[in-house]
Structure 1
Amino acid sequence: MFIEYKGALRIKGNLLFFETVEDVAYGEKVLIKYQGREIYGRVAAVGEKTTLIEILGTTYGIGVEGLRVKYSKEPFMIGVGRSMLGRIFDAFAEPIDAMGPVVIEDRLDISGSAYNPAKRVHPRDYVHTGISAIDGLNTLVKGQKLPIFALSGVSTDELVAQIVRQIGAAHKKSAVVFAAIGIKHENADFFIKNIMASGQYKNTAVFINRADEPSVNSLLLARSALTLAEYLAFEHGYDVVTVLYDMSNYCDALREISAKREEIPSRKGYPGYMYSDLATIYERAGIMKEKPGSLTQIPVLTMPDDDITHPIPDLTGYITEGQIVLDRGLHQMGIYPPINVLTSLSRLMNKGIDKVHQRESNQLYAAYSKAKRAQMLSSIVGEEEISETDKKYLEFGRAFEKEFISQGNYENRTLEETLDIGWKLLGMLPDIELTRLKPEDIKRYIDGKRKQQNGTS
């Protein structure tokens, strides 16, 4: 029999300060009762005299007089099941798509389980996104966590929707879990329409938390989505990709709740424990020994003021294995997706690609870097004053941005198509400049394309 307790001290936003009772546990699910209303809550902190409870719903009209709390003696759990694919949910994993209930196969703690590092397998195998700037030069591999550092006002929504529509590991059992955190209503409608219209939707579970919901829901939604992803990956053998957008909204919610708790702030007002909190999200990815499937993460965050040293991208970069960086200059040039390949990096890409792909990628990086240097030089002295070699690089750079980086937001390129475009562009440069390639690479992949171009010109 569960006992209802009195002892509310005060309410601040969505935080309830309550007198501590015996055997209360961190993360425990509670039921808050007030004048006929019932709202779920979650224990956020336990002190000697005061327990802090996060109220998971609107607190309008709630007062401390007559308020009662019932402790469940269990952690906050959600129902999960394979029938959740092809459906849309809120932060509590409750369906919001008017398609009826889902079949619940298990109930799991949203905080997840602690993974033994010795049981982890190093990420491996290529994951297809259909985007050349990622697949060709910053390849994503199974089990990796590869964030996207976005910019406000840049076409991030379109890129995220394209990734969700197109992404998939080379496995017959693949799934996508998309978590939209603290987004506007119009953005939520955009994602729902785009994702539902794709052939991938039946293998996609969508979790949505809108901007006008309580901040604590943003923190819950990320964990609810990852709980389903872990269940699909490690219990049923799916290769799951989880896209988390926007992690800046998550961190802002964390800062807001920290301020209401009256905690001492750290950098930019964010709590000092933000690093460890983000780690509890990002580290729920990987491949496990003796477990089927894999869990790959693509967190997406908007860099405040385009500042890559801001605490959110800075701490994210420490925990994850690289970054895909969007560029405002490319966006203003009309290039989509505006991915700056020179500042982007996938630290694990070599685990998922072959040696020829590695050499082509290295050569494209080197050539584009020299092209940007030639562009800077020509802007100073004039294009007519630079060397013939620099002019070649200048021509290569323009073609690279137009043909390799740029593609349609419904254009799903195969890896072979991406590599083929790269070989064609490298053919614009003289052999003496192709120092990252082997002679057999030039003979096999480039010379034939040069002959085709000469024959058609």
Structure 2
Amino acid sequence: MLKEYLKIDRIEGPLIFLKGIKEAKYGEMIEIRLENEDRLGKVIKIEENYVVAQVFEGTSGLSTVNASVHFTGEPLSLNFSKDILGRMFNGVGNPIDGGGPIYANKKYNVNSRPINPVARRYPRNYIETGISTIDVLCTLIRGQKLPIFSGNGLPHKELAAQIVSQARISSETDEKFAICFVAIGITRDDGAYFIERFEESGTINNVVMFMNYADDPVTERLSIPKCALTAAEYLAFEEEMHILVVMTDMTNYCEALREIATAKEEVPSRKGYPGYLYSDLAFIYERAGMLKDRNGSITFLPILTMPNDDITHPIPDLTGYITEGQIVLSRDLSNKDVRPPVNIMPSLSRLMKDGIGEGHTRADHPDLANQLFSSFSKVLDIRSLAQIIGESDLSEMDKHYIEYGRQFEAQFVNQGFSERRTMEESLDLGWKILSILPPEALDRLDEETIRKYYGR
């Protein structure tokens, strides 16, 4: 609908309301023309008597009489080519690194659909992050959706930078691997930190970055995941690359969704979030995966901060329903200066059983991971007992477990944000820590495996 309207009915926050609009389309892009500048917007609601559009650059300086609205008849679409690697874009896909525009023969609609379950290929093989707790105990499988649950003040920023700097695919073939890094609502200082870390590690030329800062318009936070995932889909399914999408912080996205829903006068649901929060998150998460007729893959690692460390909050709660596991960061471990502070007990990867073991990592990996989990679970019970009777009155076996727990946290979990361990090194370290326990305590391992690896 290529028409231009000369009057805005009303303005509320980042939204404009227009009356008397005919044939408007949901998701259609609009151009708002002021005397000295043009702004972009998108139709987000259509009622019988009016149309609601969100303005990406904000409504500051905009009034009901000083602007005209031009309907383009097209959704938000972006140019993509392999030249996007090493580039940085804003929340609506415009380059912000001074490198000029991206030229391509084809534009891609950012409102892509989630992958049809019938077209999906089951995820196999793994992505090595270089972090022992993730690689051994919560293995990240290609095509998986594995969120990281953090809290305010916990070092998820450093963990995100470490994963982007260290991640690689475990393959001896010539398969191509790249990373799509997405920052939502971060500070300028955090943005500079990420760029500096990627430059120091030498990975920046293999990363496509989408950055939305805290002082950018809130409406851009709703479009940046779609723009980034569209870029990931292009690289994965057009260029047949394996793409790891690291997105932080999904809580800022959900807060923006709540703010826009309130401005649209929608009926709120749990904690003020819109009732469609679940389907909106699923629309984003389910764009990750593998296709039967393509060689590429999209692996999704969203990071979210749990308000008040509440894992039952709607954001982590709904995320857990959609994704295939979670990695949970611990405030107690962070206070002990354990880096990264991964709490292994509530952490899990539901797909790791099909992407590890012989032919993928190492034959002993599944049993070793089970034994590490089982032994540390007993450590927690014995620590509770020691608080009552004192550590000196524990049995000899219990004292072995206490020492195992100390060394597990000090050596296996704690590795800093700059150390990279290969899968082989992490597995060997796991056996080294397990050797603190006597062989009879290793009840999840068979005798042949114990003879081969025990004492390494």
TM range (shorter): over 0.9
CA shift for structure 1 position 360: 0.3
CA shift for structure 1 position 33: 1.5
Kept after mapping to 2: 8 A contact 1:41/1:53: yes
Kept after mapping to 2: 8 A contact 1:149/1:301: yes
Uncovered stretches (5+) of structure 1, i.e. residues with no partner: 450-457
Matches within 5 A, 1:370-385: 370-385=378-393
- Which residue number in structure 2 is paired with residue 431 of structure 1? 439
Match for 1:78: what amino acid?
A: L
| Greater shift in the superposed pair: 87-96 or 317-326 | 87-96
CA shift for structure 1 position 22: 2.4
3-state DSSP of counterpart to 2:418:
coil
3-state DSSP of counterpart to 2:356:
coil
Match for 2:299: what amino acid?
A: T
Match for 1:243: what amino acid?
A: V
Matched, 1:440 2:448: yes
- Which residue number in structure 2 is paired with residue 150 of structure 1? 150
Matched, 1:37 2:37: yes
- Which residue number in structure 2 is paired with residue 272 of structure 1? 275
3-state DSSP of counterpart to 1:121:
coil
Matches within 5 A, 1:313-324: 313-324=316-327
Residue 197 to residue 104, structure 1, CA distance change in 2 (3 Å): farther
Match for 1:241: what amino acid?
A: L
- Which residue number in structure 2 is paired with residue 455 of structure 1? none
CA shift for structure 1 position 373: 1.2
CA shift for structure 1 position 58: 2.7
Matched, 1:351 2:354: yes
Kept after mapping to 1: 8 A contact 2:113/2:283: no
CA shift for structure 1 position 78: 1.4
- Which residue number in structure 1 is paired with residue 360 of structure 2? none
CA shift for structure 1 position 402: 0.7
Kept after mapping to 2: 8 A contact 1:20/1:46: no
Match for 1:317: what amino acid?
A: G
CA shift for structure 1 position 114: 4.4
Match for 2:432: what amino acid?
A: K
CA shift for structure 1 position 105: 4.8
Q: Distance in 1 between matches of 2:97 and 2:7?
A: 38
CA shift for structure 1 position 154: 1.4
Q: Distance in 2 between matches of 1:375 and 1:413?
A: 29
- Which deviations, in whole Å up to 9, do the C-alpha atoms of 1:383-442 show, x marking residues without a partner? 011111111000000000011101021111100000000111111111111110011111
Which of 291, 295, 308 does residue 292 from structure 1 map onto?
295
CA shift for structure 1 position 176: 0.2
- Which residue number in structure 1 is paired with residue 242 of structure 2? 239
Percent identity between matched residues is 46
Q: Distance in 2 between matches of 1:298 and 1:114?
A: 16
- Which residue number in structure 2 is paired with residue 89 of structure 1? 89
CA shift for structure 1 position 111: 1.1
Q: Distance in 1 between matches of 2:254 and 2:297?
A: 26
Matched, 1:183 2:186: yes
Which of 246, 251, 254 does residue 248 from structure 1 map onto?
251
Matched, 1:262 2:242: no
Q: Distance in 2 between matches of 1:237 and 1:197?
A: 27
Q: Distance in 1 between matches of 2:26 and 2:416?
A: 48
Matches within 5 A, 1:12-411: 12-170=12-170, 172-354=175-357, 355-411=363-419
Kept after mapping to 1: 8 A contact 2:79/2:102: no
Kept after mapping to 2: 8 A contact 1:89/1:96: yes
3-state DSSP of counterpart to 1:8:
coil
- Which deviations, in whole Å up to 9, do the C-alpha atoms of 1:178-211 show, x marking residues without a partner? 0000011111111111112222211100110001
Q: Distance in 1 between matches of 2:316 and 2:54?
A: 27
Match for 1:96: what amino acid?
A: I
Q: Distance in 2 between matches of 1:361 and 1:203?
A: 31
Q: Distance in 1 between matches of 2:58 and 2:227?
A: 19
CA shift for structure 1 position 342: 0.6
CA shift for structure 1 position 20: 4.6
Match for 1:62: what amino acid?
A: L
- Which residue number in structure 2 is paired with residue 10 of structure 1? 10
Q: Distance in 2 between matches of 1:57 and 1:101?
A: 19
3-state DSSP of counterpart to 1:196:
helix
Kept after mapping to 2: 8 A contact 1:165/1:198: yes
Kept after mapping to 2: 8 A contact 1:78/1:109: yes
| Greater shift in the superposed pair: 120-129 or 4-13 | 4-13
Match for 1:90: what amino acid?
A: N
TM-score w.r.t. length of structure 2: 0.96
3-state DSSP of counterpart to 1:179:
strand
Kept after mapping to 2: 8 A contact 1:29/1:43: yes
- Which deviations, in whole Å up to 9, do the C-alpha atoms of 1:204-241 show, x marking residues without a partner? 00110001111110111111111100000011100000
Kept after mapping to 2: 8 A contact 1:148/1:301: yes
Match for 2:378: what amino acid?
A: K
Q: Distance in 2 between matches of 1:74 and 1:95?
A: 20
Q: Distance in 1 between matches of 2:22 and 2:266?
A: 24
- Which residue number in structure 1 is paired with residue 420 of structure 2? 412
Aligned residues: 448
- Which deviations, in whole Å up to 9, do the C-alpha atoms of 1:327-373 show, x marking residues without a partner? 00000111000000011010101111015211000000000111111
